Structure 1
Amino acid sequence: MPAIWLIDAYRAGERGQVRALAEAAAAALDWPLETITPRYRSWAVWPHLFRQTSLAGLQHRSRCVFAPPWPGLVITAGVRNEPLGRWLRNASGGATRYIHVGKPWGRLDDFDLLVTTPQYRVPVHARVLHNALTVHGLEGQRLQRAGETWAARFAPLPRPWIGVLVGGDSGPYTLGRRAAVRLLEGAVARARDCGGSLLVTTSARTRPAVSEVLERGLAGSGGVDACPHFLHRYGASPDNPYAGILALADAFVVTGDSIAMLSEACGTGRPMALFDLGGMRRDAGAASGAAGSVDRRPGAALYRVLMRWFPQPLSRDITLVHRALVDAGRAEWLEDVGPVVAAPGVRAAARSPDLERAVVRICELVGAAPPGNDDCR
């Protein structure tokens, strides 16, 4: 029986995507799944920068893993792992099908399947699956269990519960103190309008200064009236409520920098409000773009130059995702949202349509998908 090799991604957002896709593909095909965690040579950058087909970027011990019997599929993400996927495809004589998730750096013909999203502006191609949002594994029984675990912790807070998912700096956008104040004011106003509470969690990319603004403000000492809330600072406790918030919140406010958080919140089917870090919302009259309310960062300015003057494949534009979600009625900007209505109970989201489409394409790739049947087995 062929195996699936998951070459684990080295960034947290991509890691969640490739693991979800690999696990779903393994379940659909009934193939064993093996996870490889590469160790890279710090100075070996040319294999991925120059689109090589090589293991030269790996430490010697990691290279030894890449040996027969070859897998039927290899699934991975990230520019460092592209040379590895191409190498496996060639070394196996084409028997290994190479699935890549997210941004491509190599030629599209180098992949057997690329699963991507609008922000990367990848052209239409026979080997590309364009999904609206990223694939993820926060659904079904996993979400159900998380909701049951956290329901008692959140129970003392008045409903509706508004989940606030906080990211961080990304490309041309900066989540600093000014943006944190605006986010807090908007979220508290929304909770106050419906008599509800905030369930707030920061993430690995959230600056400590932003967490401090949120903590002081929610306690009533940061220029914002106190609000019933639960606040989790990422890394402060081993108990991460993120999945529980996804399972239980009646609505969401999500910072617009993270497509992973947008995808997971949108996958619940409950109302989602996008928070503009500054410059994301391009329609006229967005208050968040007012002078003095946007955080400045040299890296953000350089990224804007990159987007404007350099080839598109070198950057990403997450506003294309925002626009698609708003146009499809799947999200609104925080300034435009209506009242929140409580809908108590642990609700398990079904598998996301983006993940379903990706699994079906993988099944078709290996000749295991009956026409018109999403079950590949």
Structure 2
Amino acid sequence: MIALAEALGWPYETRQLSWNVLNHLPNPVIGAHAFTLDRDAATLQPPWPDLVIAASRRAAPVARWIKARSGNRTRLVHLLHTQMNPRYFDLVVTSAQFRVPTAPNVLRTTLPLNVVEPATREAAACAWRPRLSHLPGPWIGVLVGGTSSSHRFDATTARALAERANAMAQATGGSLLVTTSRRTPCEAADVLAAGLTVPHYFHAWRADDPDNPYPAFLALCARFLVTGDSASLPAEAAATGAPVTLFEWPSIRPPRSLPAMVKPIHRALVYNGWYKPRRDFAAFHAGLRDAGLVDTESPATPPDDMARVVSAVRALFERDRPMDSAAAICQSTGHSS
């Protein structure tokens, strides 16, 4: 959200939101109300902004509440998914894994908007390059996700990843720069580290680590091997323009096909927010392949999705009136669903 506000170049304020137990109600039940907020509604007062940028399920009713209080003057730009009918929003910005239904006001991006900025990558690279200079090049980044609702990253998977990474390094005569992440199980991380037989640097993820080499690896590596259990790791690797190989393994909850007679009902439930489908990372990865960003030795130039979104947001105001006050950004405390 902040990245989009910065790209727009308009003045903005942020609001950190927290929630009470009523936030677990379905969004179609909550509607355009703020009773799900935990003592935060008092911080949302006039004058109402021209634009609210919010993200994910819980912020959607609050954004609609602000729009109603403004006399429908406020424009709503919602990121990720709304879990309610998209017609209530001026623009919904999403990507394939969220399975948001198609609508005239839904804009799909190839990559997320919040990838690590080039300046951040380069600054980290300056600090880490001397610390890694003993390792032969080319450097291959191994970006490791972990267990999720759709994938289990266990010891067997970790061994297979180590074998794949070793083979890539042996083929080039280079080294591996490996980093785990918040979702990587400790046992699997240990198995992965023990299975590496080529020159490497292994970083085990730690919370609030001031010395996390992840942004440096994005800048320093000539290519990447990335686990396919998420959207963020493949997207951030692809955004560098380097070759990216996806390491995929079977999902523990593969998508099920629905009988033809049930599909219209399912679509209606999803479209109106009564049912939230599981994320479809396979669809997201297929989009990366179709764009020529992964699993190719000559990757295409990463698309400027931010420019597309900025243009679409500006168009909301060019149609009716100029921008004349600050944008507001609703941010959730804790995990957003």
Q: Secondary structure of the equivalent of 2:141?
A: strand
Per the TM alignment, residue 265 of structure 1 is displaced from its structure 2 partner at its CA by: 0.9
Is the Cα–Cα contact under 8 Å of residues 162 and 251 in structure 1 kept in the other structure?
yes
Q: 1:304 to 1:320 in 2, by over 3 A?
A: closer
Is the Cα–Cα contact under 8 Å of residues 23 and 58 in structure 2 kept in the other structure?
no
Q: Distance in 2 between matches of 1:306 and 1:43?
A: 33
Q: Distance in 1 between matches of 2:246 and 2:280?
A: 15
TM-score (norm 2): 0.82
AA aligned opposite 1:241: P
Q: Distance in 1 between matches of 2:61 and 2:258?
A: 25
AA aligned opposite 1:358: V
Deviations 1:118-163 (CA, angstroms, capped at 9, x unpaired): 2233343221111112112423322221222221122221101111
Q: Distance in 2 between matches of 1:49 and 1:210?
A: 40
Query: Equivalent residues in 2 for 1:27-46 (5 A)?
Result: 27=9, 31-46=10-25
Q: 1:249 to 1:110 in 2, by over 3 A?
A: same
Higher relative contact order (CA 8 A, sep 6+): 2
Is the Cα–Cα contact under 8 Å of residues 143 and 247 in structure 1 kept in the other structure?
yes
Residue number in structure 2 paired with 1:282 = none
Q: Distance in 2 between matches of 1:318 and 1:325?
A: 11
Deviations 1:147-180 (CA, angstroms, capped at 9, x unpaired): 2222112222110111111112233322222111
AA aligned opposite 2:179: T
Residue number in structure 2 paired with 1:168 = 146
**Residue of structure 1 aligned with 2:214, choices 242, 245, 261:** 242
Residue number in structure 2 paired with 1:68 = 46
AA aligned opposite 1:210: A
Q: Distance in 1 between matches of 2:172 and 2:7?
A: 38
Residue number in structure 1 paired with 2:309 = 358
User: Is residue 284 of structure 2 the alignment partner of residue 321 of structure 1?
Assistant: yes
User: Is residue 181 of structure 2 the alignment partner of residue 230 of structure 1?
Assistant: no
AA aligned opposite 2:216: G
Is the Cα–Cα contact under 8 Å of residues 47 and 57 in structure 1 kept in the other structure?
no
Q: Distance in 2 between matches of 1:56 and 1:47?
A: 13
Q: 1:305 to 1:124 in 2, by over 3 A?
A: closer
Q: 1:43 to 1:126 in 2, by over 3 A?
A: closer
Q: Distance in 1 between matches of 2:22 and 2:291?
A: 45
Residue number in structure 2 paired with 1:372 = none
AA aligned opposite 2:222: D
Residue number in structure 2 paired with 1:58 = 37
Q: Secondary structure of the equivalent of 1:124?
A: coil
Residue number in structure 2 paired with 1:216 = 194
Q: Secondary structure of the equivalent of 1:362?
A: helix
Q: Secondary structure of the equivalent of 1:64?
A: helix
Q: Distance in 1 between matches of 2:130 and 2:52?
A: 41
Q: Distance in 1 between matches of 2:258 and 2:49?
A: 38
Is the Cα–Cα contact under 8 Å of residues 77 and 91 in structure 2 kept in the other structure?
yes
AA aligned opposite 1:316: R
AA aligned opposite 1:164: V
User: Is residue 6 of structure 2 the alignment partner of residue 23 of structure 1?
Assistant: yes
Residue number in structure 1 paired with 2:250 = 278
Q: Secondary structure of the equivalent of 1:170?
A: coil
Q: Secondary structure of the equivalent of 2:122?
A: helix
User: Is residue 162 of structure 2 the alignment partner of residue 184 of structure 1?
Assistant: yes
Q: Distance in 1 between matches of 2:212 and 2:25?
A: 38
Q: Distance in 1 between matches of 2:310 and 2:185?
A: 36
Q: CA RMSD in A?
A: 2.6
Structure 2: 5+ residue stretches without partners: 271-276, 320-337
Is the Cα–Cα contact under 8 Å of residues 224 and 242 in structure 2 kept in the other structure?
yes
Q: Distance in 2 between matches of 1:180 and 1:194?
A: 22
% identical aligned pairs: 37
Q: Distance in 1 between matches of 2:150 and 2:248?
A: 12
Residue number in structure 1 paired with 2:173 = 195
Q: Distance in 1 between matches of 2:308 and 2:255?
A: 33
AA aligned opposite 1:322: H
Residue number in structure 2 paired with 1:261 = 233
